[in-house]
Amino acid sequence: MKSICMAIAKYLLVVLFMSYYVGGTAFTHTHYFPTYSITHSHPFLPGADGLPHHTHSSTAFNTIQELDDIMLEAAALCFALATAWVLLAVFIQQHKYITPVRLVRNINLRAPPFCIK
């Protein structure tokens, strides 16, 4: 049962990634206003001139802004957590190796016999 769920999840994750990637790259468009412009992406049907002929309410634009902010904050949080994890892994790791100092000290350092005639 677990292997069937893993196989299904594997393909669903590929479909989810592809839809996110295509949705973010193929449907990017800009809404122009007198004092500012908003660029975002979602599936839409372009008009004859290729521009989006749909509108969003101010609530929809606020939702888009909130989602963008959440994604930026999540990316910064992930970066901070990854940095902290690497630093902790470097500085607070247990040394599982033994320095072979005793082996070097026990080597017989006596020279071979020397004969003077």
Taking only the tens of pLDDT, the chain with its 117 residues reads 778 888 898 888 888 888 777 777 777 778 888 888 888 777 777 777 767 777 788 888 888 778 777 777 877 888 899 999 888 888 877 767 666 655 555 556 666 777 776
Q: Which pLDDT score, from 0 to 100, does residue 72 have?
A: 73
Q: Which pLDDT score, from 0 to 100, does residue 102 have?
A: 56
pTM of the predicted structure, to 2 decimals: 0.41
Q: Which residue has tokens 């500012």?
A: 36
> What does the alpha-carbon distance between residue 98 and residue 94 come to, in Å, rounded to a whole number?
11
CA angle (7, 13, 16) in 5-degree steps: 145
Decide the pairing of beta strands 28-32 and 37-41. antiparallel
Q: Which pLDDT score, from 0 to 100, does residue 92 have?
A: 79
CA torsion sign for 87, 93, 97, 101 is positive
Q: Which of 96, 76, 73 is nearest to 84 (CA)?
A: 76
| Residue 92: count of CB within 10 angstroms of its CB | 7
